[in-house]
A and B are shown apart, each in its own frame.
Chain A
Amino acid sequence: DAGVIQSPRHEVTEMGQEVTLRCKPISGHDYLFWYRQTMMRGLELLIYFNNNVPIDDSGMPEDRFSAKMPNASFSTLKIQPSEPRDSAVYFCASRTTETSGNTIYFGEGSWLTVV
């Protein structure tokens, strides 16, 4: 299996610009998660979906952040407008409830720098 695929791997953008991060979960997985990792705050859950429906978005920092999952194989996390404090690594992850265990598989991350 190809694993969770994220793009872009690296993004440098100017403050005020729109940023779109993309994720393809593992085929057959019914949960998708977006996490953000910073030195100060560690790994924080932003939002997660079950069967393409947002379940918990309480971790989304503010209205500048939005996430969508139009189908089972694609999700986006959008930041508009971006700010320097949004600089972080954004991870997408997925899991399935069809097999035993609760393993969540992570992508390689999207490294975002806002200058």
Chain B
Amino acid sequence: QKEVEQDPGPLSVPEGAIVSLNCTYSNSAFQYFMWYRQYSRKGPELLMYTYSSGNKEDGRFTAQVDKSSKYISLFIRDSQPSDSATYLCAFMDTGRRALTFGSGTRLQVQP
């Protein structure tokens, strides 16, 4: 079993749609949960960061973590063409200071 599983996509939605991106993980040592966004031919950039179960909102973005189910989600409301990118879930445990990434979901928002 892979340590992190991410829905591969690609996902194509119309502008204004609500987007749901998901990851599951198996490592109980993961304590920090992140979403990175990667535009074409660019490096990943941090979008959302949380360390507890529950929801965290930032503008049109909501990150959701369920530690008991080992499941995290990113919701994008009122999606825009500028949201078109690859979204990577990422995890860090308390001992190892590096990130473990999901494979990424490519999102295309059609105007």
Contacts and interface: CB of A to CB of B under 8 A. Distances in A.
Contacts of A97: 97
A106 B49 contact: no
Interface in A85-108: 91, 93, 95, 97, 101-108
Given A101-B49, A106-B43, A109-B43, A31 B88 contact: no
A31 B101 contact: no
A91 B43 contact: yes
Interface string A46-57: 001010000110
Nearest to A31: B97
Place the interface of chain B in its size category: 20 to 34
A43 interface: yes
A101 B48 CA distance: 11
Contacts of A31: 97
B59 to A, nearest CB: 18
Secondary structure call for the A interface: strand
B97 A106 contact: no
Given A43-B44, A91-B43, A109-B43, A104 B99 contact: yes
18 contacts: A4-B43, A42-B88, A42-B101, A42-B104, A43-B44, A45-B99, A45-B100, A48-B98, A55-B97, A56-B96, A91-B44, A95-B97, A101-B49, A102-B97, A107-B43, A108-B43, A109-B42, A109-B43
Given A33-B98, A43-B44, A55-B97, 18 more contacts: A31-B97, A33-B99, A42-B88, A43-B88, A43-B104, A45-B99, A48-B98, A56-B96, A56-B98, A91-B44, A97-B97, A101-B49, A102-B92, A104-B98, A105-B46, A109-B42, A109-B43, A111-B41
